Structures are given as C-alpha cells and as structure tokens.
Structure 1
Amino acid sequence: MATAALRQDETGVDTGNTVEDRIAAVRRFNRFYTREIGFLHEHLHDSGFVLSEARVLYELAHCGETTATELRRETGLDAGYLSRLLRRFEDKGLLARRPSPEDGRQSLLSLTPEGQKTFARLDAAARREVGALVAPLPEDAQEKLVAAMAALEGVLGTGRLDPARLVLRRHRPGDLGWIVARHGALYAEEYGWDASFEGLAAKVVGEIAENFDPVRERIWIAEHDGVRLGSICLVRQSDEVAKLRLLLVEPAARGLGLGRRLVAECIAFARAAGYARITLWTNDVLTTARAIYAKAGFRLVASEPHRSFGQDLVGETWELDL
C-alpha cells in the first residue's frame, strides 16, 4: 500500500490522497455504519427478517403491484435468491400473485393484508431504532448528518434522485436556520467565502422573518423524500418590485433542473401577486445561477467590483420585467 502523507478532515479522521487510502476510508466507514445501524444483527430490528427480506418488503409496500424483474432492478438481488425469497413470503401468506394482463409471462406481485401488517410493524421498529440513534444529537448535528447522507447518496448514486419526487413547499419552523447554515457552509466550501457571508445570509433571513408578508412574499424549500435540497425566497422591495433572494441547490440535487424550477416558481408567484418587476443581486463567479437567471429572461442591468466575504468579486444586478 502506498504511504502517502495523511491529513485530518473536519471530523478528525485521517484521510489520504491515494486510491488505497480512499478504499480504506470507505471500508472503515462501512464497518462503523453497519455496527451503528445494527446491520450485523442476525435479524433486522428484531423482526425475524434479514436485511434483504426487509428491503423487498419495503419495495412491495411502496410500489403497490410490481414484477420480479422490477424488484431485481430496484434491489440488485440475484434472480435465484429473490425467487426463493418470494416463495417464502408466499408460504407465510405475505405475498399475492396474479397474472399480468399485459404480459402472460409475468406475474404481478403485491403484499397481502397480512403482508401489509407485517411491513407496518417492521417499519415502525425501524423508525424507533433510527429515532433513538438520531434524537440524542443536537439539532445542528442532525442537520449536518442529513446533509452528509444526501451528499453521499448524490456522489455514489449519481442520477438516482428522482426529479418526480422533488417537492417544493412553503417554509416551516427550522427551515430558516437551515437556509443560513447551508449558505455559509456551501459558499465556504465551493468559493472560499469567509464567515461574513453567513452573517449576511443570517441578516437577510432575519429581516425576511421579521417583516414577512405571506400575501406578497414566499419562501420555498425543495425536498426529496423529506431531505431538504434547496431554497429560494421572493420578498417585497416595493409595491411594484419584488426581490429574489437566497437561491440554493445542494450538490446532491444539481443537474435535475431544480434551480430552474425554483426560479420559475418565484416568477409565477410574483406575477400572481401583482408585481411589475423582479430584481436580484448576485456575483459574477456564480456562473450556474447566472445562467439560470438569463434563461428565465432576466437581464444584467448593472455590475460593480467589490471586496466582500474575503474575496475580490464583481456584484451584479439583474432584472426581469413581468
């Protein structure tokens, strides 16, 4: 194994530059995670089911009717093993089959009422165990954990986030703090901006919260299966002008058109609220965001160099006539 110099990340874990170092780090994480989550137990959540059986029950519970082919695709299980597993479910009265009306060679699989009850018990036990794991953590640590898992899913499962399951919703308690924290962390990581930018985000969010008008202002949070992946705000600048603020898309959700959806939602709301124009302020280094604004019809109306957030930047004002 190569003996490259090791460095410590923010968690204090030694990481390295070589492929061998990275393989060792992934294996170390696997050992830690399987121990913490209880995957090494003979039966998952003391249910009598092993992990692969619980995964198949989960897929059957969430897809209504499906085929063995689709189950293999979703779970990655060997065809022979999956076939034996499904037969065991049938023998226990958990699984029902019926011929597919579209393809006589296929059977449609679904959980029986007993299978649904069994899954409900398993799901409740899983929620309790994960809740017990997460609940002792401080709120900021829980947010960091969820964001890290989303990033991990995005890196290892590129393209697996389903755009159809990306939901835009209004903000709730806890969302504003998340917006500030993620702006501070992401812009520091990706652009090297210092803590003064997080301070600006906190100031902007504080002003929005203090003066929020739900009739003419809106904050959207983008979620995928309950995980926050983006945000955007539209606030009143005057009776005629709205201001777009705090557009953010997590790295795990990029490439899915989420930024365009968030901006389009702002524009539609601004029109419905009776504004004549939307304005926004950004910086020239934010090339992806600038491209989204330009494609949505915004035009650059002013730019000015400035020194902010520990960087030499060019601030830009963009506008869209409605």
Structure 2
Amino acid sequence: MQLNDISIRTTIKPGDLGYIIHRHGKIYGEEYNYGVAFETYVGEGMHEFYKSYNPEMDRVWICEHNDKIVGFVLLMHRGNKTAQLRYFYLEPAYRGLGLGKKLMSLFMDFFYKKGYQSAYLWTTHELSAAASLYKKHGFKLTESKKSIAFEKPVIENRYDLSTIPKNY
C-alpha cells in the first residue's frame, strides 16, 4: 500500500463523525490506555464542530482506503481569525506512509487560503510523533498542564501557531 492508494475527501457523510469518535476511543484506549471519558470528550467536540460547521470556514479531511476510513483531521473556526486543529488520527497500519505530512499540508494550505491568523491544538505528552509534525509546521508549545481527564494522569500540551513559519 502506498500514499497514492489513499483518497482524501472533504465532505461529511452520515456515519463519518460517529466512526471517528469510535476509532478515537478504540485506538487511544488500546495504545494509551485512555478511558471512556476520552471517547465522550471527542464526541462532545464533534457535536460542537458540527453544530457550528460552515464549509467556507471549517474543513474535514477524511482519508479512505478501500472504502474504509483510515485517517482524519479537521480545522474548526474559532473567533478572531483563529483555527483549531482537532482529532488528527491515523489507523496504525497507515502510519509511516507520509499521510500525516499530507494531512498537515492540506490543513496549512486551507488555513492560509482562508486568511486565518492563528491556530492552536491540544494534545498530550504521549503523542510525541504528532507533536514533532506540528512543530515542523511552525506550532510552538505554549502551555502544559497536568490532567486526569482521560482517566489516567497525562500532561495536556497546547501548541499555537501565530505567524507564518519561515519553512512553509
């Protein structure tokens, strides 16, 4: 399997958001021992996203291979020309193909095309590969806090992008 075998769509179909919630709960439970609270957190965020969804300002990137969702990320508009990156995930078998880099490039392209001036995201200290990808696109760690929100001790990290990175 190669990157070219994977299609990426930007339309939301019935079942997509529920599936993304399900896969987040399942994968993060298996890989990081996150509890059901994480899945409900993702569900609440997806509900918030869809309630305010505006295709001119918001975007989903849904990766599919053989009619199966294998990756996802979204850009959610916030106030003051700010965007939030949320729910970035890749199925384990699809990691290392360059799909994460492609999704970040698509996110950044839409971010600049729509005139956003800043972006942010929250992640945990355990997701170092994702953090590395964010940093390559100009995001900087701006806040860290201890949390037990996902039924285990983690450090939640906020990354912000407030200027156009020189390497983009």
**Structure 2 match to 1:207:** 48
Runs of 4 or more above 2 Å deviation: none
For residue 235 of structure 1, the aligned residue among 76, 87, 92 is 76
Q: Does 1:252 align with 2:122?
A: no
In structure 1, what is the Cα distance between the partners aligned to 2:25 and 2:122? 17
Residues 68-104 of structure 1, C-alpha deviation per residue, up to 9 Å, x if partnerless? xxxxxxxxxxxxxxxxxxxxxxxxxxxxxxxxxxxxx
Q: Does 1:312 align with 2:156?
A: no
Letter in 2 for 1:236: H
Equivalent residues in 2 for 1:211-222, closer than 5 Å: 211-222=52-63
**Structure 2 match to 1:273:** 114
Deviation at 1:286, TM superposition (A): 0.8
In structure 1, what is the Cα distance between the partners aligned to 2:4 and 2:69? 15
In structure 1, what is the Cα distance between the partners aligned to 2:38 and 2:77? 22
In structure 1, what is the Cα distance between the partners aligned to 2:80 and 2:53? 14
In structure 2, what is the Cα distance between the partners aligned to 1:319 and 1:167? 29
For residue 181 of structure 1, the aligned residue among 15, 22, 47 is 22
In structure 2, what is the Cα distance between the partners aligned to 1:268 and 1:172? 23
Letter in 2 for 1:294: K
Deviation at 1:239, TM superposition (A): 3.2
**Higher relative CO (CA 8 A, sep ≥ 6), structure 1 or 2?**
2
SS at match of 1:275: coil
Higher strand share: 2
Letter in 2 for 1:315: E
Letter in 1 for 2:32: Y
Letter in 1 for 2:52: N
In structure 1, what is the Cα distance between the partners aligned to 2:108 and 2:75? 9
Q: Does 1:223 align with 2:64?
A: yes
**Structure 2 match to 1:63:** none
Gap runs ≥5 in structure 2: none
Gap runs ≥5 in structure 1: 1-160
Equivalent residues in 2 for 1:84-95, closer than 5 Å: none
In structure 2, what is the Cα distance between the partners aligned to 1:251 and 1:277? 30
In structure 2, what is the Cα distance between the partners aligned to 1:226 and 1:292? 27
For residue 8 of structure 2, the aligned residue among 143, 168, 175 is 168
Deviation at 1:261, TM superposition (A): 1.2
Pick the structure with greater CA Rg: 1
Letter in 2 for 1:268: D
**Structure 1 match to 2:131:** 290
Equivalent residues in 2 for 1:113-192, closer than 5 Å: 161-170=1-10, 171-192=12-33
**Structure 2 match to 1:36:** none
Deviation at 1:260, TM superposition (A): 1.4
In structure 2, what is the Cα distance between the partners aligned to 1:177 and 1:163? 25
Deviation at 1:225, TM superposition (A): 2.7
In structure 2, what is the Cα distance between the partners aligned to 1:315 and 1:186? 18
SS at match of 2:57: coil
SS at match of 2:34: coil
SS at match of 2:148: strand
In structure 1, what is the Cα distance between the partners aligned to 2:130 and 2:106? 15
Percent identity of the aligned residues?
33
Residues 159-183 of structure 1, C-alpha deviation per residue, up to 9 Å, x if partnerless? xx12112121112221111110000
In structure 2, what is the Cα distance between the partners aligned to 1:265 and 1:173? 23
Letter in 2 for 1:169: R
Root-mean-square deviation (CA), in Å?
1.0
SS at match of 1:246: strand
In structure 2, what is the Cα distance between the partners aligned to 1:223 and 1:268? 20
In structure 2, what is the Cα distance between the partners aligned to 1:196 and 1:306? 12
Deviation at 1:223, TM superposition (A): 1.1
Equivalent residues in 2 for 1:18-57, closer than 5 Å: none
